[in-house]
Amino acid sequence: MKGTQIKSTLTALFLLLVLPLSIYADSLTEKLEQIKSINNIRPLKSNKFKEKYLVNFNHPVDYKDSSAGRFNQRVVISHTGYDRPTVIVTEGYGGSYAQNENYTEELAEILQANLIHVEYRYFEESTPSPCQWQYLTVWNSLNDLHEIVTALKEIYPKKWLATGISKGGMTTIFYRAYFPNDVEVSVPYVAPFNKAVEDGRHEKFLEHQVGTPMERACILDFQKALLKRKAAIMPQFRSFCEKNNYKYNISLEDVYDYCVLEFPFAFWQWGKDVHILPDANGASDEEMLKALIAHSSPDYFQYETSSKSFYVQAARELGYYGYDVRPLRPYIGLKTAENYLNDVMLPKELQGIKFDKTLYRDTRKFLKKEDCKMMFIYGENDPWTASGVNTWLDFSKKKNMKLFIDPTGSHISRIGTMPATQREEAIRILKEWMK
């Protein structure tokens, strides 16, 4: 009897030593409190989940140099159950919207999963102080995710799925390449994979591939009309920019030209219909300007915006798209649009960033060699699809990697927007992977 008691006591002590402390906590709050890197736990309302919390993860500003200091990264944890899989959203931007009580993601709904939303470093409340731009690297952002997932796996031991949209989808891809064992499944949505600051494929896509020849001609005619009527429209354009106190590195005349250049990319990105464009022959100057601003607003070309962190990364590692001025040569004032990301979109103190292809090369090598469970989702008419993984990766040679292209889809393509046959197949695969 006494020996049995001693044995039981020793067993209990052993379990205390080897098992995560979080399993002994009763509530989710208590479990979160036991994670040393978490602070400022705050409950949130949710109409979609049993519990929801806003927390801060305290992370190194630079994972290669501890002297750079630390910062708080905003994470929203939406709880379904400890016995459920977990979806982590690798957000590419700010994450304020995730605090909304009605917030969820389609994969969390499909899988009835817990949902972890991670705000990207150097955006909104996850910005270090002082803001040292040299530490805004994809490598550091991936280590942020690795630290978060490692910590939360003590609470959520079932399978994990990483997903993100657009720049967040790029992060999902990079995360799988650099930390391949952190999650079982990756689902990047509408994620470009650019090879240069001005990749070069987007311009050709817009000029020769997207939509129908009639639709492309309609948009080009609209651009030409805007440039032909520039002198008449310019006073209203100037007034609009001054009223909104927009700040630029370039003249307003050049801003106008850039808005016209941007128009087809922005138009197709959001899946618009050319029939909504005004008739250039009969439309007033006011109607022409309204249509331009509605799809290609001049606030996009400011050097101080909430997207500044993104432009820094685009210039440094992520790449971007360019503009082809040749189809508009007789009408446009700009001689060239080369290097516009640095010259136009960045403040002067951040201009001159050199592009590093290491991230692109490493990730491309990983995707070609490996065959992990990844589902890539693109929209057929989305300009970002022009630089997607689908343009060079041979999915016929992959057993696990899957590709879904939403017919006529745009940058808002999701599993839920795809035709029924595609949608059902994608859901079937995901549920099988996450068993």
Q: Which domains does the chain have, with CATH numbers?
A: 20-195+359-433 (3.40.50.1820), 201-350 (no CATH)
How far apart are the C-alpha atoms of 288 and 307, rounded to whole Å?
27
Q: What angle do CA 194, 198, 199 make, to 5 degrees?
A: 40
The label of the residue with tokens 């959520």 reads: 156
Q: What is the mean pLDDT of residues 303-328?
A: 96
pTM for this one? 0.93
Residues 6 or more apart from 383 whose CB is under 8 A from it? 202, 205, 206, 210, 264, 265, 268, 269, 321
The whole-chain average pLDDT of the chain stands at 94
Determine the pLDDT at residue 9. Answer: 54
Q: How do residues 28-46 score in pLDDT, each as one tens digit?
A: 999 999 999 999 999 999 9
User: pLDDT band for position 304 (50/70/90)?
Assistant: confident
Section 167-176 average pLDDT: 98
Q: Does residue 299 have a pLDDT over 80?
A: yes
54 pairs with which residues across the strands? 42, 76
Tokens found for residue 300: 């996009």
Q: How far is CA 213 from CA 206, 220, 275, 294, in A?
A: 11, 11, 14, 23
- List, in order, residues 6 or more apart from 384 with CB less than 8 Å away: 166, 190, 191, 192, 202, 269, 378, 411
pLDDT band at residue 22 using 50, 70 and 90 as cut-offs:
very low
